[in-house]
């Protein structure tokens, strides 16, 4: 079906667009971008005045728990959450059960996503078998089946020699190695940032060095192997400085940050012990969060991700020490950015588009999506004035463990188009199958 979006504020730094335009989409592609476009016979006109139209958002770090943990999230429910949050593409981490370390597991995810018919799912394959860090996974097989990148996310690859082998192998396939940086001998038993919070609440601390030491190591391995390296969920100012230095040296190093590391810090953890604030890596200091915001705005941090980590109530409604790590994020990521950075004019719309649409496609080596004729019609329409209350009922995700429950946020995706199909209509997920 054809759609004519009338009067949208179109933002795409790739083609120097930041103005009001009409956009015609048909047959899965953008057919025209211009002023006062005529509506073809049969095309549905959409009044987009007062809204922003951007290339479809991409989250390159999510956990859909399927197969193995479907009681938390499935590919279908995760796709619904992604669509509700305004995303056209998500990249799923491999720590499922079984771990996604063969081509069959990659194909499983792509087929389930195809059945859901909502968004593009780009599976990330494991670097090592079962994410044990002992031997190479079937990387070539997974590339053939469609793996977008490789990571042992959830664990750092502890052996430097093993990580070197992984990076040398991944580089042969034109993919990026995504590093979950954690030296487990330093973080063992840690459940909260090592510092004021761990002292105040009397819990085992998780030192920043446990992350920074492995960032340093993997940047050195990037230098040695030439393999593109992406640092996952960076959480410390020192870690960001290491990435900045690597970029200044001309190394192929990129990094990502999560909303919870931007807008929350260890001071938000009180004696109520809200386990939705228990993360891996943990919420750091206020100074770290401020440095990460600055890094995202100035482009030192390439992209925003959610590390969407669904967990069941019994895995969170328990003592802090035994609660699972992580928070869901797909449905609050864009509203948090609009409320905290774009709305107050700390970040431009163009920079938002770079961080949430352009850079993740570049890092994953995906086809670019641009607001120009001929490009794929993967688009997100955003109402910057709509207000949402973050409650459990708001979420399409099967799990409700959000660190931002109770917040009121301004700005939300209202419509999403994937290959020209309208998968979100006025804020309602509209699955159409394929």
The residues assigned a catalytic role are 307
Torsions phi, psi for 279 (to 5 deg): -125, 165
CA proximity to 70, closest of 398, 423, 355, 331: 398
Ligand-binding annotation for 180, yes or no, is yes
Torsions phi, psi for 333 (to 5 deg): -60, -55
Are 237 and 275 contacting, i.e. CB atoms less than 8 angstroms apart? no
DSSP state letter for 368: P
The alpha-carbon radius of gyration of the chain (Å, integer) is 21
Tokens 């910057």, residue? 384
Ligand-binding annotation for 280, yes or no, is yes
First and final C-alpha spacing in the chain? 14
Ligand-binding annotation for 125, yes or no, is no
Helix axes 237-248 and 286-298, enclosed angle (nearest 10): 30
What tokens were used for 56? 């479809």
Ligand-binding annotation for 65, yes or no, is yes
What tokens were used for 74? 């499935």
DSSP-assigned beta bridge partners for residue 181: none
Are 57 and 359 contacting, i.e. CB atoms less than 8 angstroms apart? no
Ligand-binding annotation for 274, yes or no, is no
Ligand-binding annotation for 150, yes or no, is no
Are 111 and 428 contacting, i.e. CB atoms less than 8 angstroms apart? no
Ligand-binding annotation for 155, yes or no, is no
Q: How far apart are CA 313 and CA 318, in angstroms?
A: 9
Ligand-binding annotation for 233, yes or no, is yes
Helix/strand/coil for 274? coil
Ligand-binding annotation for 114, yes or no, is no
Ligand-binding annotation for 325, yes or no, is yes
Binding-site positions read 61, 63-65, 95, 153, 180, 233, 280, 307, 311, 325-326
Binding-site positions for substrate read 63-65, 95, 280, 311, 325-326
Binding-site positions for Zn(2+) read 61, 63, 153, 180, 233, 307
């Amino acid at each position: 079906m054809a759609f004519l979006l009338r009067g949208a504020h179109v933002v795409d730094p790739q083609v120097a667009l930041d103005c009001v335009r009409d956009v015609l989409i048909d047959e899965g592609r953008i057919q025209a971008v211009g002023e006062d476009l005529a509506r073809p016979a049969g095309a549905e006109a959409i009044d987009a005045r007062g809204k922003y139209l951007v290339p479809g958002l991409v989250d390159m770090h999510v956990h859909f728990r399927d197969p193995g943990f479907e009681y938390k999230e499935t590919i279908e429910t995760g796709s619904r959450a992604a669509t509700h949050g305004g995303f056209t593409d998500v990249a799923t981490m491999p720590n499922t059960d079984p771990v996604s370390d063969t081509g069959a597991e990659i194909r499983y995810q792509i087929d389930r996503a195809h059945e859901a018919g909502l968004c593009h799912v780009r599976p990330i394959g494991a670097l090592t078998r079962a994410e044990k860090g002992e031997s190479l996974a079937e990387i070539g097989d997974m590339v053939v089946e469609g793996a977008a990148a490789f990571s042992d996310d959830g664990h750092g690859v502890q052996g430097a020699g093993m990580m070197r082998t992984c990076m040398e192998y991944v580089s042969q396939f034109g993919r990026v190695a995504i590093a979950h940086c954690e030296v487990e001998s330093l973080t063992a038993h840690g459940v909260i940032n090592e510092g004021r919070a761990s002292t105040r609440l009397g819990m085992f601390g998780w030192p920043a060095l446990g992350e920074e030491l492995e960032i340093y190591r993997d940047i050195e391995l990037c230098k040695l192997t030439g393999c593109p390296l992406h640092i996952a969920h960076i959480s410390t100012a020192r870690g960001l400085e290491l990435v900045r230095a690597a970029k200044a040296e001309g190394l192929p190093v990129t990094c990502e940050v999560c909303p919870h590391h931007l807008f929350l810090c260890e001071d938000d953890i009180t004696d109520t012990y809200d386990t939705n604030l228990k993360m891996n890596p943990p919420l750091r200091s206020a100074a770290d969060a401020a440095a990460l915001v600055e890094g995202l705005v100035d482009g030192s941090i390439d992209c925003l991700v959610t590390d969407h980590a669904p967990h069941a109530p019994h895995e969170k409604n328990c003592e802090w020490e035994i609660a699972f790590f992580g928070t869901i994020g797909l449905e609050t990521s864009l509203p948090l950015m609009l409320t905290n950075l774009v709305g107050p004019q700390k970040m431009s719309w163009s920079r938002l588009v770079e961080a949430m649409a352009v850079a993740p496609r570049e890092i994953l080596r995906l086809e670019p999506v641009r607001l120009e004729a001929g490009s794929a019609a993967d688009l997100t329409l955003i109402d910057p004035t709509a207000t949402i209350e973050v409650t459990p009922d708001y979420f399409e995700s099967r799990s409700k463990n959000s660190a931002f429950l109770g917040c009121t946020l301004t700005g939300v995706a209202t419509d999403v188009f994937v290959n020209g199909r309208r998968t979100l209509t006025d804020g309602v997920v509209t699955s159409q199958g394929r």
